[in-house]
Amino acid sequence: MIFRILTFPIRYTFSKVKRAVGKLDTIQLEPLFAFGNSSEVYFKARVVEGYKQSIPSEKKSASRNMLAAIRRYSGSSVPDIKVRVKLGGQEVLVVSDGEGIVEGYFNCPSTGEVEEKMSFNFVQEEDVKFQSEEVRFSVTRYKTEHPFGVISDIDDTILISKATQVGEKLWLSVSKNAYTRRPFPGISKFYKKLSNNGENPIFYVSSSDWNLNEMIKDFLNYRDIPKGPLLLQDLHVNLKNIWKSGGGSHAHKGEKIDFLFDLYPNMQFILIGDSGQHDPELYAEAIKKHPGRVKAVYIRLIREMDEERKKLLDAHTDRIAIAYVKNTEEAIEHAEYHKFLN
């Protein structure tokens, strides 16, 4: 995070200089999410120099996956690009920030359409070439009347990542792709039961950076794990600091959890994480901040927790189902006992 802050002026200036001398590559817009409730929709996208995305395959070697990772992380975010975003007859003009991020929200009641679309249109500029002038993206709205929602971590919760071991984590990140990364056994079964065929929304909150957005979506799809909005970290990770992906401060996860509780004020949530990093502390804080809103907490024990960390959650066992599980089957048994699964 400190590296990111210190190098921001250099990265920002470099992008501006490339643009000024006409060396900026064709740029593209990558939608990240567009979701909300019956009256509000929040969106996020990023503007980057165009690069060819690699198609995942079980047959690709580690070297080919590493080349794909290099392409993914060598792409540059592009600041100061104007984008018009439209939804339901409304329009906002946003400008990409120093990390290429475009974000905002619409106060826009649902039209009741089967498929609601948001459009992103680049504002034409002489010194910029666009891969596509317009990008359309589906909007997902969740009603607050859902029985409950799920907020889940990704690394070492559903995806085997070795997040606490920097060397192994980095090797997994660059040597494998969405089809060869492995989930924990039983995750698809557990999350499908929790979602009840989409009746209960699942939100994925992770410290992974946005460069991994497509990989995570492909992984969820390939492993038949229910889809849901990805809320990743706004950390510009490139070839120089790729090892930081998934690390650094995890405060943003708490902020995104608070955001979801506020966006769906009548919804209870089941929180799922692991013991490797800061999930127990973050979830204990969420319980205190949002009394009566947390239905259950599941912590996967990828390493033993000391008693001080456990006490943070155990203080709430009189009114909240707390489970420390060594495998997914234990989580399923606990959820069935408490009638969270259909």
Q: Which residues of 311-332 are buried (b: 16+ CB within 10 A; e: fewer)?
A: ebbeebeeebbbbbbeebebbb
Mean pLDDT for 176-186 is 89
Phi, psi of 229 (to 5 degrees): -60, 140
pLDDT value at position 65? 67
- pLDDT single digits (tens) 3-62: 343 444 444 444 454 544 444 568 899 999 999 999 999 999 999 887 666 677 787 777
Domain 2-141, what fold?
Answer: Immunoglobulin-like (2.60.40)
Asked whether 126 and 132 are in contact (CB, 8 A), the reply is no
Q: Whole-prediction pTM value?
A: 0.85
The whole-angstrom separation of Cα 230 and Cα 41 is 15
3-state helix, strand, coil in the chain (%, to 5): 30, 25, 40
Lowest mean pLDDT among 167-171, 184-188, 254-258, 294-298: 167-171
Q: What is the dihedral of CA 104, 110, 111, 112, to 10 degrees?
A: 140
Mean pLDDT confidence for 118-122 = 96
Distance, CA of 234 to CA of 169 (rounded, Å): 19
Closest by CA to 290, choosing from 261, 333, 318, is 261
In residues, how long is the chain? 342
Give every CB contact of residue 298 below 8 A, 6+ residues apart in sequence. 270, 271, 272, 273, 323, 325, 331, 334, 335
Comma-separated ranges of CATH 3.40.50.1000 domains in the chain = 149-337
Q: What local confidence, expressed as pLDDT, does residue 176 receive?
A: 73
pLDDT in tens, 76-99: 788 999 999 999 999 999 999 988
Q: Cβ-count burial of 61 within 10 angstroms (0-12 exposed, 13-18 middle, 19+ buried)?
A: exposed
* Alpha helix positions (H), 21-92: 62-74
The residue with greater pLDDT, 117 or 245, is 117
Query: Helix, strand, or coil here: 86?
Result: strand
| Arithmetic mean of pLDDT, 281-308 | 95
pLDDT at 146: 80
The pLDDT of 185-202, averaged and rounded, is 95
What the block records as the tokens of 234 is: 């706004």
Q: What is the pLDDT of residue 201?
A: 96
- Give the whole-angstrom CA distance, residue 96 versus residue 123: 12
Q: What is the DSSP letter of 139?
A: E
Band of residue 170 on the pLDDT scale cut at 50, 70, 90: confident
Every domain range in the chain assigned CATH 2.60.40.10? 2-141
The CATH number given to 149-337 is 3.40.50.1000
Looking at 32-41, 59-68, 219-228, 279-288, which range is the least confident one? 59-68
Residue-level pLDDT at 251: 82
Q: In this model, does residue 165 exceed pLDDT 70?
A: no
Q: How confident is the model at residue 248 (pLDDT cuts 50, 70, 90)?
A: very low
